[in-house]
A = this chain, B = another copy of it.
Amino acid sequence: MKNNDIAEKNRWQKRRAAKRAKLAAAGMADGIVVPSEKTVSFLETVIASGDRVVLEGNNQKQADFLSRSLAQADPGRLNNLHMVIPSISRPEHLDLFEKGIARKVDFSYCGTQSLRMSQLLEDGLLEVGAIHTYIELYARLFIDLIPNVVLCAGFAADRHGNIYTGPSTEDSPALIEAAAFSDGIVIVQVNELVEETADLPRVDIPASWVDFVVVADRPFYIEPLFTRDPKHIKPVHVLMGMMAIKGIYLRHQVQSLNHGIGFNTAAIELLLPTYGESLGLKGKICRHWALNPHPTLIPAVESGWVESVHCFGTELGMEDYVAARPDIFFTGKDGSLRSNRLLCQLAGQYAVDLFIGSTLQMDGSGHSSTVTKGRLSGFGGAPNMGHDPGGRRHSSRAWLEMRRPSENEAETYLSRGKKLVVQMVETFQEGGRPTFVPELDAVDVARHAGMPLAPVMVYGEDVTHLLTEEGIAYLYRADGLRERQNMIAAVAGVTDTGLAQDPAETRRLRSKGLVAFPEDLGISRTEATRGLLAAKNIADLAEWSGGLYRPPVKFRSW
């Protein structure tokens, strides 16, 4: 090759050249398995200052050995990293910024670390690229956030680099693909190393996408985030669950859905086999789910309500149960769950009839947010589930029913259906704070953090139904913003928003069926007792599962 040919070639392969140089410096010519005790210096070698580094912080799979190792790097040698972390969930994620190793972060969710995050931002130690939903963060990895290095976690690897992620595949395939096909470097921590591919239960990520594996000092951290103990479900949740089933699921014949996580939706799951059964609805509604394997779904599965569940991630304790129900859950040839956050987010957006979730605050127009003062908690996936995907073109009965009726035939053909987005909230939160507020705290958070937009989870115009203990507002039928506001006020109870309602207007809304109180739906408040729940506690759930569900210790009281 002539010199100018080489120069021409090099001009287009800078990322590949940088990778080769790092790999040469790492001196791993004889294999891909990094000795665990050398992880810190290895990361200092294969990551360069200023690199964009994706770190798997997930709901239920943490690349925590890698993050702890990275946090031990010498900031004199490694600094100004641009981190991309789907879920900032470990203390060492923020240590990176405090120590000066990382500078900028793009992320989706920040739960337990949100207070410290705000502090670091205020102290100028951390710069936020943007706060995303999961799915748009993955998308940007292929456009303008292409990573130099990806740090992920799996259960096991073989010596070639094939990875078994275990039931928490979550976002590993999306994160890894972005680096594997852009001359980035992929490093996966595993709990266990096996010799041959045949020794792995299955392959979730092929070896040709992976550069290095390292055995972690201890199994990655996992937390049962989606377990709700039925003993905490109150009669008001039962009442609201009955309204959801009769006033929304039955009315619109909801076939496929996604539930948020909370005692409200857990109540619905536990009412299907009892109250739902009494309405003769089995096999007629709620057949297909996009959902983590919630333990509270077990009685509905066992009584034959559920045809399929696709999962974002797994849930601790549900492994054996899921494996024993392969007709319902997605499992591999090895028998264990295959979750996939990207695909499940997509399914929850584009393939289901309904999303139902809760929130901390809602304003008079129906905008809602879980962001409260001093906490930069991010979005997760709720905004994707809780909006109407305008790119959808197939229809379902429920979706079509959200159309505004028109006298004009051509207009009807041109009007779209809508995904059902249900906000299910008590009018007051724990501690007596009103859910309905004149202005979302999120607006003030944006003001103070210099954000261009308030971090709204679900916009008012996307909410089709508002369900409180007072009743259901069928917001998709509202004729304009003013009527929507009146409908919200009608079910806002004794909050200021609710007290400002005009009783005559509320009567009109009820008479037109725009708002329904429990009695309008034929539901008596006195019926709504915990006795209707198919399981009253975790032990009941374990029993329903025939012993297959093994609750984590913190949920055991027997």
Contact = CB atoms under 8 A, between A and B. Distances in A.
Contacts of A7: none
A352 interface: yes
B13 A447 contact: no
Interface stretch (A28-36, A128-136, A292-300): A128-136
A454 B415 CA distance: 9
A359 to B, nearest CB: 15
Given A290-B143, A338-B181, A439 B410 contact: yes
A6 B247 CA distance: 40
B144 A308 contact: yes
Given A142-B347, A162-B206, 11 more contacts: A130-B395, A131-B394, A136-B350, A143-B310, A144-B288, A182-B308, A182-B326, A182-B331, A202-B208, A367-B414, A390-B462
A455 B393 contact: yes
Size class of the contact patch on chain A? 35 or more
Contact of A326 (B12, B203, B330, B379): B12
Contacts of A394: 130-132, 136, 140
Contacts of A413: 442-443, 446-447, 453-454
Nearest to A460: B414
Nearest to A445: B413
Contacts of A135: 346, 350, 391
A330 B16 CA distance: 11
A415 B453 CA distance: 7
Interface string A177-216: 1001111000000000000010000111111110000000
Contacts of A328: 12
B389 A391 contact: yes
Interface in A325-342: 325-328, 330-334, 338, 340, 342
Nearest to A201: B208
28 contacts: A12-B327, A14-B327, A130-B394, A135-B350, A136-B351, A136-B394, A138-B343, A138-B346, A139-B347, A139-B350, A142-B330, A142-B344, A142-B351, A143-B290, A143-B308, A144-B287, A144-B288, A181-B338, A182-B308, A183-B331, A206-B206, A208-B332, A386-B391, A390-B462, A413-B446, A414-B443, A414-B453, A414-B454
A459 B183 contact: no
A255 interface: yes
A15 interface: yes
Given A142-B344, A144-B351, A177-B340, A392 B136 contact: yes
- How many copies of this chain are found per oligomer? 2
Nearest to A206: B203
Interface of A: 8-9, 12-16, 130-133, 135-136, 138-140, 142-144, 146, 160, 162, 174, 177, 180-183, 197, 202-209, 255-256, 287-288, 290, 308, 310, 324-328, 330-334, 338, 340, 342-344, 346-347, 349-352, 367, 379, 383-384, 386-395, 400, 410, 413-417, 439-440, 442-443, 446-447, 452-456, 459, 462, 546
Nearest to A338: B181
Contact of A133 (B288, B326, B391): B391
A331 to B, nearest CB: 6
A349 B391 contact: yes
A4 to B, nearest CB: 11
A183 B338 CA distance: 12
Q: Which of A132, A197, A410 has the most CB of B within 10 A?
A: A410
Contacts of A454: 413-414
A440 B12 CA distance: 46
Contacts of A459: 390, 414, 416
Given A143-B288, A146-B308, A351-B144, A393 B327 contact: no
A139 B349 contact: yes
B346 A183 contact: no
A388 B395 CA distance: 19
Nearest to A334: B208
Q: Which of A14, A209, A391, A414 has the most CB of B within 10 A?
A: A391
Q: Which of A140, A290, A328 has the most CB of B within 10 A?
A: A140
Contacts of A332: 180-181, 208
A392 B143 CA distance: 15
A131 B308 contact: no
Contacts of A203: 206-209
A326 B180 CA distance: 12
A354 to B, nearest CB: 12
Nearest to A174: B343
B456 A144 contact: no
A142 B329 CA distance: 10
Contacts of A338: 177, 181
Kindly list the 5 A-B residue pairs having the minimum CB-CB distance in the complex, ordered from nearest.
A130-B394, A384-B391, A139-B351, A136-B350, A203-B206
B130 A452 contact: no
A393 B346 contact: no
A182 B456 contact: no
Contacts of A392: 133, 136
